Chain A
Amino acid sequence: DVKVTQSSRYLVKRTGEKVFLECVQDMDHENMFWYRQDPGLGLRLIYFSYDVKMKEKGDIPEGYSVSREKKERFSLILESASTNQTSMYLCASSPGGQPGNEQYFGPGTRLTVT
């Protein structure tokens, strides 16, 4: 079974702090994604990566950056956390090749910025 893990289930940070969210997958997938999920807005794509050191902006990249130094690990970075970044963050991965391959999701990190 594909396994996608996220470093924290719950996280509380203060405004202005630098925040790192880590995601690891164990199936050698090329593609990895970061989404945020908010009530009434559904899931929105922040960034994705289709290979090591490669990244592309999603629909809402402002205020975020990402890092992919190793194939299995994709990090989301909030350079200076703000209260409007309080949300549920979901990581996903999928095999490369066919663009329509199924995405597998991690359990999510609920981030609260106070």
Chain B
Amino acid sequence: KQEVTQIPAALSVPEGENLVLNCSFTDSAIYNLQWFRQDPGKGLTSLLLIQSSQREQTSGRLNASLDKSSGRSTLYIAASQPGDSATYLCAVRISSGSARQLTFGSGTQLTVLP
């Protein structure tokens, strides 16, 4: 059974720092991996989707990398801002072909201090 782990569970950094959030998964036979952002009491907003054949995806100050063989993904946030404060979730989809197979990590709660 696929398990997804995100470490650390919480992270606090001063504004302007570059930071890396980690996601690891136990089964490397994934179809893709998706990073989400969740603000308190709100739903999830998709940030980046990396297909299994890709190594990274970029959107603005965000860069997500994928290393399938080692079961790891990182989300790099450049020049962090207080508005980046949120919980970041990663989720992997296995290669079964079924729409249901999306497994989530528990998230990293990021606080960017002004």
- Binary per-residue interface labels of chain B (21-64) against chain A in the complex, 1 for a CB within 8 Å, 0 otherwise: 00000000001101010000111111001010000000000000
Distance to closest chain B CB from A19 (angstroms): 19
Complexed CA–CA distance, A54 and B32 (Å): 25
Chain A residue with Cβ nearest B48: A102
Complexed CA–CA distance, A110 and B42 (Å): 9
Distance to closest chain B CB from A2 (angstroms): 9
Known A-B contacts A41-B106, A99-B93; the reply to A105 vs B101 at CB < 8 A is no
Residues of B within 8 A of A106 (CB): 43
Known A-B contacts A40-B106, A42-B104, A45-B100; the reply to A105 vs B34 at CB < 8 A is no
Residues A99 and B99 in contact, CB atoms below 8 Å apart: yes
Which of under 10, 10 to 19, 20 to 34, or 35 or more describes the interface residues of B? 20 to 34
- Binary per-residue interface labels of chain A (69-98) against chain B in the complex, 1 for a CB within 8 Å, 0 otherwise: 000000000000000000000101010100
Partner of B43, one of A45, A99, A102, A105: A105
Residues of B within 8 A of A11 (CB): none
Partner of B44, one of A48, A94, A105: A105
Distance to closest chain A CB from B110 (angstroms): 16
Chain A: interface residue total (CB-CB under 8 A)? 26
Residues of B within 8 A of A110 (CB): 41
Residues of A within 8 A of B97 (CB): 99
Q: Is B89 an interface residue (CB 8 A)?
A: yes
Distance to closest chain A CB from B33 (angstroms): 10
| B→A interface (CB under 8 Å) | 4, 31-32, 34, 36, 41-46, 49, 51, 89, 91, 93, 96-102, 104-107
Q: Which 10 interchain pairs have the tightest Cβ spacing? A: A105-B44, A43-B104, A105-B43, A42-B106, A107-B43, A100-B31, A100-B32, A31-B99, A108-B43, A42-B104
Q: List 10 A-B contacts (CB under 8 A).
A: A42-B89, A48-B100, A50-B99, A90-B43, A92-B44, A94-B99, A99-B93, A100-B31, A105-B44, A107-B43
